[in-house]
Structure 1
Amino acid sequence: MFNILETQEHQLVGMISNKDSNQLPPFTKGRLINKNFYEGQLKVEFESSHGSLPDYFELDAIPIVSDKFVDFWQDLPIDNYQLFPAVIRFPDKEFAGYSILNIEK
């Protein structure tokens, strides 16, 4: 079972950044991204702390998925996606185990 954030009642306020650049790949354009464009570590930073995160959520319309979700996703017969590992950062802690999911339309 996966936990998916699908409601407007809960808001995750934050931003996605690349430590080596102010520019982010165009994750919401529906195109595969040249891996050379992504050269640094992506961070998903939140303004406030949360007890836990769902396995799938979006921040600024960009899908972010847990390793648990990725393990399931990679067993499906699809190949039009890319995963970009990201560090999750709250004001009081930081952890890995999530990726940005880029899907080609």
Structure 2
Amino acid sequence: MSASRLDVVFAALSDPTRRAVVERLRLGPATMTELATPLAASLPALTKHLAVLQRAGLVTTAKQGRRRYCTLTAQPLRDAAAWLAEYGAYWDERLDALTGYLKENPS
């Protein structure tokens, strides 16, 4: 995943309301009303949040009759997790080296 794509995903996840939407959609598709109700969000506000999540590729929507269903798209989350895991491995190596140094050079 490109750096600019990661920027968009992390920016989308930076908002607590959008993270709550992602968390709810982990359970399965939901209508906009089902998403808005527990968040105490208006439908216009939720629509704006969903647009950000859609631009990040995290959510897709499909209209069925009068209802619009939202579904989580997991791949951008996997890509972000993989990026974070790379940095986790880097810091694990650095901390292991520091531990080794401190064992060899006690104060």
Q: Give yes or no for TM over 0.5.
A: no
TM-score, normalised to structure 1's length? 0.29
Rg larger in structure: 2
TM-score, normalised to structure 2's length? 0.29
Structure with higher strand content: 1
Structure with higher helix content: 2
Higher RCO, 1 or 2 (CA under 8 Å, sep at least 6)? 1
